[in-house]
Amino acid sequence: MKSIQTKKKIRLKNPVLVAAWPGMGDVALKAAAYLKDKLKATEFATMSPNDYFHPTGVWVEGGLIETPQPSVGHFYFYRHPSSGQDLVLFISDAQPFVEKGHAYAQEIIDFAKTLRVKEVYTFAAMPLPMEHTQPSEVHVVVTKKELLAPLEALGVKTMATGQISGLNGLILGVAKSSGLDGACLLGEIPLYTVQIENPLASLAVLDILTRYLKIELDLADLRRHAEEMNREIEHLIDYLKNPPEAETDEQPIDQKEIDIIKKTLADAAGLPDSAKHRIDELFRLAKKDLARALELKKELDKWSVYDKYEDSFLDLFKKRPKKNN
């Protein structure tokens, strides 16, 4: 059963698809929603949940349970005012069940092909051991090498290895297998803020995409929002360092305790599967070739998990008993 219902037929000029779902830091969803609103994109189709979604909880308002609402995806279009490419935007406020993800992405790609879309772009977050005060740099992965050079010319870094979980990554794999080109732009976010909205990363990826597609977009509001969010995080840290005397008799916490809080938040967020797989692979390689241990140590330090793996790491350097001939 097809899930996409078209409200109006449209003809577009060499369109590209930009698709987004919720993810870490809400990087993708925030960027796509801002793009839609600023361009005043027009809705022309919806994607009903069908068997892709089932309610997993309920919303409560004033103590009363609301009737579960299904997640609906929305398609929008924007016609470029000059000779650039038109846009098709797909935005959904939820991701389907994991086992339904591939079929869900395939239906979107099949629909995009009927609109003569040949390129697909998505956004994602790249959690790193960085501070929230640092600028968010952008990394990129592409479906073919020819796309790298023009994106790198805009200042992005190539993601050498790893995994992009969820629909923001999966749909590009489906697009590639369906003969479409595409790229995912990943904005850096601090490990300890993966559960917090990160408009700074959304701003970074959106700036790259709009320059790449030659779309004029006013990013001032998103930039202000990013500054406000950073101030809120600073206020929280200042509060933890210097709590009001009227509310507590405890001494202000020092920077060491702040660092512990950040590490605790990062640990609670969990190590991404891609990082776990990379670490496991490097351990396997280092057991065969000790020269790879330095690369492994850098990876452990990058994710601030050396303490967790310390015993296994040191075991690599223990002398192995010689085999008798």
Higher pLDDT, 197 or 233: 197
Reduced DSSP (H G I as helix, E B as strand, rest coil) percent helix, strand, coil of the chain, to 5: 45, 15, 40
Higher pLDDT, 213 or 68: 213
What pLDDT sits at residue 193? 75
94-110: average pLDDT: 91
The rounded percent of the chain whose pLDDT value lies above 90 is 47
What pLDDT sits at residue 1? 58
Q: What is the mean pLDDT of the chain?
A: 85
Exposed, middle or buried, 200 (CB in 10 Å: 0-12/13-18/19+)?
buried
Give, rounded to a whole angstrom, the gap between the first and last alpha carbons of the chain: 66
Higher pLDDT, 122 or 296: 122
What pLDDT sits at residue 288? 86
Higher pLDDT, 95 or 301: 95
The rounded percent of the chain whose pLDDT value lies above 70 is 84
What pLDDT sits at residue 264? 54
Q: Name the band, by pLDDT with cuts 50, 70 and 90, for residue 202.
A: very high
Segment 132-145, tens digit of pLDDT = 888 899 999 999 99
**Highest mean pLDDT pick, 28-42, 192-206, 262-276:** 28-42
Structure tokens at 229: 């969010």
Is residue 294 helix, strand or coil? Answer: helix
Alpha carbons 34 and 203: distance in angstroms, whole number: 9
Segment 140-187, tens digit of pLDDT = 999 999 999 999 999 999 998 877 878 999 999 999 999 999 999 999
Higher pLDDT, 182 or 284: 182
14 pLDDT above the threshold of 80: yes
Segment 247-282, tens digit of pLDDT = 555 555 555 665 555 555 555 455 566 667 778 888
Question: CB neighbours (10 Å) of residue 225?
Answer: 17
Segment 56-89, tens digit of pLDDT = 677 788 888 987 777 889 999 999 988 779 999 9
Q: Name the band, by pLDDT with cuts 50, 70 and 90, for residue 325.
A: very low
Task: Give the CATH architecture of domain 10-50+68-217.
Answer: 3-Layer(aba) Sandwich (3.40)
Alpha carbon distances (Å) from 27 to 5, 18, 31, 42, 278 = 27, 14, 6, 22, 23
283-292: average pLDDT: 86
Question: CB neighbours (10 Å) of residue 258?
Answer: 13
Domain ranges of the chain: 10-50+68-217, 273-315
**Range from 201-205, 212-216, 272-276, 298-302 carrying the lowest mean pLDDT:** 272-276
Contact of 226 with 200, CB cutoff 8 Å: yes
Higher pLDDT, 93 or 319: 93
What pLDDT sits at residue 145? 92
pTM for this one?
Answer: 0.73
Chain CA centroid to CA 190, Å: 12
HSE (side-chain half, CA atoms, 13 Å) at 161: 8
322 pLDDT above the threshold of 80: no
Higher pLDDT, 324 or 59: 59
Alpha carbon distances (Å) from 198 to 92, 139, 270 = 18, 16, 18
Q: Is 243 left (phi over 0), alpha (psi -120 to 50) or beta?
A: beta
277 CB-near residues (< 8 Å, 6+ apart): 163
